[in-house]
Amino acid sequence: MSELREKARKASECARILSTISTEEKNQALQLIAIQLIEEETYLLKENDKDIVTARQNGTNEGLIDRLTLTSSRLVDMAEGLRQVASLSDPVGEVLSTDTRPNKLKISKVRVPLGVIGMIYEARPNVTIDASSLCLKAGNAVLLRGSSSAIHSNTALVTVVQRALEQTKIPVEAIQLIEDTSRETATEMFTLNEYLDVLIPRGGASLIQSVVKNASVPVLETGVGNCHLFIDRTAEKDMAISIAVNAKTQRPSVCNAVETILVDREWAILHMKELLQELANKSVSFVGDEEARAYDSRIEPATESDWENEFLDLKVALKIVGSVDEAINHIYTYGTKHSESIISEDALNVENFLNKVDAAAVYHNSSTRFTDGFEFGFGAEIGISTQKLHARGPMGLEALTSTKYIVQGQGQVKG
């Protein structure tokens, strides 16, 4: 039996135990993992260093190396994250509804763990701890499949986690790392319906698409955000510019940053130059349609790909539109149903936009940068779902649960 199948089988067995573990025991385990991470700093940094040496030998760029790097203070942050998850209320066992039917059957809908979660992710070793803590808190076993570039770091982190679990009633197989980082193993995970209840890919668009296309295990799709800001005719100038600058530049590499700004024609005549100047002051470069380009010679012509894809960079696409409906149609054509915002003082246009734009989060007079589990008050985030089934938008602990019906009778038979 392959490493993957063997660990998946153990995870499935373990999930049965986890579903009956008390909140206190789960919280205690999270606290113990936090302590263990700090205690084993020397070991963790030494193992992490092996990955960094290899990355440098492979000519990895400094941005990626930074994301790969563990430091003393990053371990402290991870420990703090674990304690925060421990402080969140436990979704498992929550009674969502109770109904007594005319035949006296009492039917309760109760939150239960999903079971076994497969995480497939890239580079950042902090995902190893984030995902593990959320899966554990929601009573799930997790199979972690990180990238080969972080294999020493991930192995060390999971070793430390398991040392902590050894001190609890929770089997160490609750959190396991797949050490074989070959592509074949990832592919085998895609179809391991026998043991896996859900797959969560975290990483670039190509990883996510590969999982969505090839997995028969149900997938929670996260990630790609081609987000738009629509500045309506009645938008207040200062508010619109401040939101545009924030949504584009505050952290351009993330999925809830804005990629295209749609500007009402009349607003553009009055304020387009100031908008462009403020963005340029933050080193933003521009592409745009012909009408937008007439405002500034620095605006390069936008290609179809510019409208379709995330820049994830200090670059923005600009388009002049004649109405809220034209903006809505553009978003329908090019959006990825992540986060979309309208800046407007016109109640009818706002209602139109919020109702008709189909996205996980639609905003009025706000930056799109708030689409995030912490900002939404969930206390944690396993990712941002861009699919419509199960969970949509920021996913906290509840997204890592399912439900079951508990039916209590007194001998009922069907007539």
The site map against a second copy for 341-380 (x = CB under 8 A) is: -------------xxx-xxxxxxxxxx-xxx---xxx---
For the bound state, the minimum distance from the C-beta of residue 72 to a second copy, rounded and expressed in Å, comes to: 26
Q: What is the dihedral of CA 243, 365, 297, 292, to 10 degrees?
A: 160
Pick the piece of the chain touching a second copy (CB under 8 A) from 32-40, 175-183, 212-220, 266-274: 212-220
Contacts of 241 (CB under 8 A, 6+ apart): 271, 274, 275, 278
- Is 274 a binding residue for a second copy by CB under 8 A? The answer is no
Cα Dmax for the chain: 80
Q: Which residue number, 146 or 171, has a Cβ lying nearer to a second copy?
A: 171
- Is 397 a binding residue for a second copy by CB under 8 A? The answer is no
Q: Give the footprint of a second copy on residues 323-342 (CB under 8 A).
A: 332
Q: Tokens 């420990």 identify what position?
A: 79
Which of 46, 56, 101, 282 contacts a second copy by CB under 8 A?
101
Which of 3, 99, 266, 313 contacts a second copy by CB under 8 A?
99
For the bound state, the minimum distance from the C-beta of residue 194 to a second copy, rounded and expressed in Å, comes to: 12
Please, are residues 367 and 342 in contact by the beta-carbon 8 Å criterion?
Answer: no
Q: Where are the alpha helices (DSSP H) in 151-236?
A: 151-165, 183-190, 205-214
Structure tokens at 305: 């790909």
Q: Tokens 């936008």 identify what position?
A: 302
- Is 413 a binding residue for a second copy by CB under 8 A? The answer is yes
Interatomic CA distance for residues 69 and 59, integer angstroms: 15
Binding residues with a second copy: total (CB under 8 A): 69
DSSP 89: P
- Is 87 a binding residue for a second copy by CB under 8 A? The answer is no
Q: Tokens 């081609």 identify what position?
A: 226
Strand duo 285-288 + 198-202: pairing: unpaired
- CA 250 to chain centroid: 18
Q: Which residue number, 283 or 412, has a Cβ lying nearer to a second copy?
A: 412
∠ CA 251-255-257 to the nearest 5 degrees?
Answer: 45
For the bound state, the minimum distance from the C-beta of residue 24 to a second copy, rounded and expressed in Å, comes to: 17
Q: For 221-286, what is the HEC assignment? A: CECCCCEEEEECCCCCHHHHHHHHHHHHHCCCCCCCCEEEEEEEHHHHHHHHHHHHHHHHHCCCEE
Q: Which residue number, 39 or 238, has a Cβ lying nearer to a second copy?
A: 238
- Is 107 a binding residue for a second copy by CB under 8 A? The answer is yes
Q: Give the footprint of a second copy on residues 28-67 (CB under 8 A).
A: none
- Is 236 a binding residue for a second copy by CB under 8 A? The answer is yes
Which of 149, 154, 246, 349 contacts a second copy by CB under 8 A?
246
- Is 406 a binding residue for a second copy by CB under 8 A? The answer is yes
- Is 105 a binding residue for a second copy by CB under 8 A? The answer is yes
Q: Which residue number, 311 or 353, has a Cβ lying nearer to a second copy?
A: 353
Alpha-carbon distances, residue 308 vs 37, 114, 179, 259, 337 (angstroms):
42, 34, 36, 9, 12
Q: Give the footprint of a second copy on residues 108-147 (CB under 8 A).
A: 112, 114-115
Q: Which residue number, 211 or 268, has a Cβ lying nearer to a second copy?
A: 211
- Is 389 a binding residue for a second copy by CB under 8 A? The answer is yes
Q: Tell me which residues touch a second copy (CB under 8 A).
A: 16, 19-20, 99, 101, 105, 107, 112, 114-115, 191, 193, 197-198, 212-214, 216, 218-220, 236, 239, 242-243, 245-247, 250-251, 332, 354-356, 358-367, 369-371, 375-377, 387-390, 392-393, 402-414
